[in-house]
A and B are shown apart, each in its own frame.
Chain A
Amino acid sequence: MKRFSFSNFMLWAGFAFIYLPMLILVIYSFNGSRLVTVWGGWSIKWYVGLLDNTQLMSSVMRSLEIACYTAIAAVALGTMAAFVLTRVTRFKGRTLFGGLVTAPLVMPEVITGLSLLLLFVAMAQLIGWPAERGIMTIWIAHTTFCSAYVAVVVSSRLRELDLSIEEAAMDLGAKPWKVFFLITIPMIAPSLAAGAMMSFALSLDDLVLASFVSGPGSTTLPMEVFSAVRLGVKPEINAVASLILLSVSFATFLVWFFAHRAEEKRKKALQEAMDETTGVHQQDGPDNRRDPSQVHA
């Protein structure tokens, strides 16, 4: 009876609501008919046709390039911000700092996009940089809002960490930066990977920010898709959209899978180490507690 509770029903209905449209999109991208609503048999001609579309291909490469840079910078910046928020309890302007880190999460994109563009224009007038808008300015815009997401993910991980390990290293004379790179970073690695993945995907998806801060000749993939989509549903766009959908889902799954496995391994190793030390301390000898660790070793 519990199985068919209202909340469970809503969960599966919600999943159907979320995934059915995407599934339909992918199926229809294999539609052989040019009319998007008439089924004309299975075909991959729209995918093959994409390869000849050089304009689209160059925008794909540009988007991927920006997404790579964004992922790297956002992880570095977001991790720093998360570290400050979770570990540095008191400094001047802390409330402002917290606000600056979290506000990009909810700020409407049109506001962020417009304000960044106006900043770039003002900077170009004042100091001559950036002379022209393009990959660089899009990268800055993406890094700013992606680092907020990274900060959320990483800070939740930092909070769970056992501080005593870092403290022990400090007490043994390790410098703070050494503790950070040798102890903290490996422990938060899964969340760093998740943050990088998230930034990569967010950057690859963004239309509004890129439209505002890009210059002539730096059209990204979403901008290309948007200008086509505005005119209606087209089979070529179905194919592009399906490719994006599938590749992002696949990459998400891979990252999650590896992060999950690393996490399980770490927990297991930790558990074994704990068992071992307690076993030694209790002087119980080779009892059944130590056995599993020996099997794994």
Chain B
Amino acid sequence: MNISRSISRRMPKGRHLVIGVPFLWLFLFFLLPFIIVMKISFAEADVAIPPYTEVFSWVDNTFTLIVNLSNYIFLSEDALYLAAYLGSLKIAAISTLLCLLIGFPMAYAIARADKAKQMVLLLLIMMPTWTAILIRVYAWMGILSNNGLLNSFLMWLGVISDPLQILNTNLAVYIGIVYSYLPFMVLPLFANLVKHDQSLLEAAADLGSSTYNSFWRITVPLAKGGIITGCMLVFIPVVGEFVIPELLGGPETLMIGKVLWQEFFNNRDWPVASALAVVMLAILIIPIILFNRHQAKEMEGRP
């Protein structure tokens, strides 16, 4: 009886259900779609509903598989796509770095604040992440435009005599991205920094280490997990970002999310859009795996 009880405890009846439901959902609506994207990236655009040709068919007991690499060849031949991928990676890398440079001191200050204040500061950081990115980006459109507040203010100060063209340039895109993604950098950094043992820094100071030295030799190495999570939380989504380059960027802003959107909605070329997504995913797979590892560790509570 004892054995059966311990078995039933180890294998509760609901166990399969508890694992199965989320697993099935995520498999069906997250993993399976990628396989379909992969499949359609090998199809050809067609004037039909849906607008692509079948990759494999089963007609008259014969199985035909038409793997068509023309979409990928098309992507590699047109310089626009390569430029868009490189542009996305460059913008994502620079904005991630900017977010880190701004976010680290912020997270550090919150982690050092006293407990009562900490909750309020955290809420202030978190609140913008719950309000629409669209609206926060829209707010910047009004500020950065040629006759917007920033230009009016600078002209009133006498710093400039003619309005600066900021909206519809890459500068506006950087501002928008840093603005929108900063909380995603601060939150994981805070979660990491708050766990640091202050006595390590005190011990280092007692042994004659300068604040600068302690920061680079103790705080930064300890914060590695938080830095990786934060950077991945910013870098990966920014590579595929659509709203910010669309609203704040200009003709010089080439980002792959925007190109994919145009291929899909304006050109209605689903196979090329799929091929773009597959290549983007291939570029991002290493950062995503890196992120997943750290996040899984974090969620399971492993050190």
Contact = CB atoms under 8 A, between A and B. Distances in A.
B245 to A, nearest CB: 11
B221 to A, nearest CB: 18
Interface in A90-108: 91, 93, 95, 97-108
Nearest to A77: B22
Given A114-B260, A121-B50, A159-B301, A100 B23 contact: yes
Interface in B66-115: 102-103, 105-106, 108-110, 112
Contacts of B300: 85-86, 98, 155, 159
Given A118-B274, A256-B123, A233 B142 contact: yes
Interface stretch (A40-48, A54-62, A203-211, A267-275): A203-211
The binding surface of chain A is classed by DSSP as helix
B252 to A, nearest CB: 18
Contact of A25 (B40, B139, B182): B139
A104 B33 CA distance: 13
Contact of B36 (A118, A238, A248): A118
A112 B291 CA distance: 17
Nearest to B144: A21
B26 A101 contact: yes
A77 B21 CA distance: 8
What's the interface size class on B, roughly?
35 or more
Question: Which interface residue of B22, B233, B301 has the most chain A CB atoms within 10 A?
Answer: B22
Contacts of B260: 110, 114
A104 B30 contact: yes
A144 B25 contact: yes
A61 B206 CA distance: 62
B112 A208 contact: no
Interface stretch (A6-14, A185-193, A281-289): A6-14
Given A86-B299, A97-B23, A110 B106 contact: no
Nearest to B28: A119
A260 B30 CA distance: 34
A115 interface: yes
Contact of B106 (A11, A95, A116): A11
Contacts of A260: 119
B124 to A, nearest CB: 6
B270 to A, nearest CB: 7
Contacts of A175: 12
Nearest to B294: A102
Interface in A190-242: 197-198, 201-202, 204-205, 207-208, 211-212, 222, 225-226, 229-230, 232-233, 237-238, 241
Given A17-B179, A207-B243, A108 B274 contact: no
B277 interface: yes
A105 B298 CA distance: 14
B26 A100 contact: yes
A210 B186 CA distance: 28
B216 interface: no
A180 B13 CA distance: 13
Given A21-B136, A93-B23, A111-B240, A205 B142 contact: no
A226 B134 contact: yes
Given A91-B19, A108-B241, A233-B142, A8 B109 contact: yes
A112 to B, nearest CB: 8
A121 B270 CA distance: 12
Contacts of A155: 299-300
Contacts of B182: 14, 17-18
Nearest to A98: B296
A18 B127 CA distance: 10
A36 interface: yes
B299 A156 contact: yes
Contacts of A159: 299-301
B116 to A, nearest CB: 11
Interface stretch (B56-64, B145-153, B197-205): B145-153
Interface string B1-13: 0000000010011
Nearest to B33: A115
6 contacts: A97-B19, A105-B295, A110-B277, A156-B299, A205-B134, A233-B142
Ranked 6 nearest A-B pairs via Cβ: A108-B240, A115-B33, A10-B105, A205-B132, A11-B109, A7-B109
